[in-house]
């Protein structure tokens, strides 16, 4: 399972013997960068002993911890800070831990769970009321709750549960389990389900979502970031090997204007009009504008969803990965439907 530790490449973990109290491990930061309030999962397994019946020490001093069952084992989370070139030693020993102030608030308000670390707050469904709830109910923007999510699936929901698996001592985490009526999988013999973990750590300016599922090929859920407010700018931020790493062509635009329902790619603005289930082939679905002038518009009759992306020739990259302007030849090609497609 994915673990939210973002700096493992620069850290070395030295382990002592596993399975006895008093076991020690060491975590070293071999980089020239300092890390503050990093969520670290120790390689020490807590066996069957419940949390609260032992203590964890970092360099001899007791520290708060949290236990989470992952893959049938009880793993220990701590929150540590590392100066460049330093290390910490951890020891698990018998004892009763001192009360600790949670680093992330986890609370239930009616049919909603809230995770809040003071920088980011997110609402998650605690119960299914009126249909199948999306995994993210809303995020907090200033003093408003905005955004929302929705499932797109042909399966009917049969059961929904929301379970707190991280109480906020170190991490706030809620596991959402969706069971659907019907079978999925390659052979069509696996009960359809989806499981979504949403986690928030101290100091994070994002939430981490880990999911696994067995559903139909075209099933998905989507998050509508602009629901409940009217954004006017978008922000691109490089992560890992993405935009700005040198592995993806094009210069990252740190701030760009937004068009409702669309994205900006270089100097081109691509706007989508949304679903028109009863409009037929005459409805406009996508339009491309350059320097304020519309250069391409596609109606329903121009779009064949059975054609592959390569055949269609029009690629709209993610808003955070600008690959440059749409070539003129591509606009000319798509402005007229080819004879073979009529």
Check: CB of residue 112 under 8 Å from CB of residue 125.
yes
pLDDT of 164: 97
Mean pLDDT per 10-residue run, the chain (342 residues)?
A: 34 38 81 90 75 89 93 91 94 91 95 96 93 94 94 93 96 97 91 96 93 91 89 64 45 56 69 66 79 81 59 43 52 55 51
List the one residue out of 180, 175, 238, 171 whose CA is nearest residue 202.
Answer: 171
Q: Return the pLDDT at 45.
A: 78
Give the tens place of pLDDT for each residue, 180-194: 999 998 888 999 999
Query: Are 322 and 268 a contacting pair, CB within 8 Å?
Result: no
Q: Which of 220, 225, 80, 227 is nearest to 152 (CA)?
A: 220
CATH 2.60.40.1180 in the chain: give the residue spans.
Answer: 8-94
Closest CA to 204 of 4, 3, 1, 14: 4
Residue 158 is predicted with a pLDDT of: 94
State in words which class domain 8-94 has. Answer: mainly beta
């Amino acid at each position: 399972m994915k673990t939210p530790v973002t700096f493992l490449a620069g850290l070395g973990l030295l382990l002592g013997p596993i399975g006895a109290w008093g076991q020690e491990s060491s975590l070293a930061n071999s980089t020239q960068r300092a890390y503050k309030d990093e969520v670290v999962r120790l390689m020490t397994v807590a066996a069957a002993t419940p949390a609260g019946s032992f203590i964890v020490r970092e360099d001899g001093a007791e520290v708060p911890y949290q236990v989470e069952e992952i893959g049938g084992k009880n793993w220990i989370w701590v929150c540590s800070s590392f100066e460049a070139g330093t290390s910490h030693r951890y020891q698990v020993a018998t004892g009763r831990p001192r009360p600790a102030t949670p680093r992330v608030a986890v609370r239930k308000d009616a049919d909603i769970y809230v995770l809040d670390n003071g920088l980011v707050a997110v609402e998650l469904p605690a119960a299914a009321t009126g249909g199948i709830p999306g995994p993210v109910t809303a995020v907090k923007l200033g003093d408003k709750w905005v955004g929302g999510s929705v499932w797109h699936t042909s399966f009917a929901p049969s059961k929904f549960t929301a379970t707190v698996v991280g109480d906020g001592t170190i991490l706030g985490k809620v596991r959402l389990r969706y069971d659907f009526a019907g079978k999925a999988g390659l052979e069509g013999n696996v009960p359809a389900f989806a499981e979504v973990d949403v986690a928030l750590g101290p100091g994070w300016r994002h939430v981490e979502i880990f999911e696994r599922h067995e559903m139909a090929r075209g099933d998905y859920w989507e998050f509508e970031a602009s629901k409940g407010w009217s954004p006017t700018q978008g922000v691109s931020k490089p992560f890992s090997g993405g935009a700005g790493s040198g592995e993806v062509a094009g210069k990252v635009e740190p701030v760009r204007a937004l068009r409702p329902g669309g994205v900006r790619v270089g100097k081109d603005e691509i706007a989508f009009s949304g679903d028109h289930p009863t409009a037929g082939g005459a409805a406009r679905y996508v339009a491309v504008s350059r320097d304020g002038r519309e250069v391409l518009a596609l109606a329903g009759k121009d779009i064949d969803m059975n054609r592959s992306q390569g055949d269609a020739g029009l690629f709209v990259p993610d808003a955070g990965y600008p690959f440059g302007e749409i070539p003129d030849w591509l606009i000319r090609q798509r402005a007229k439907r080819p004879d073979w497609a009529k």
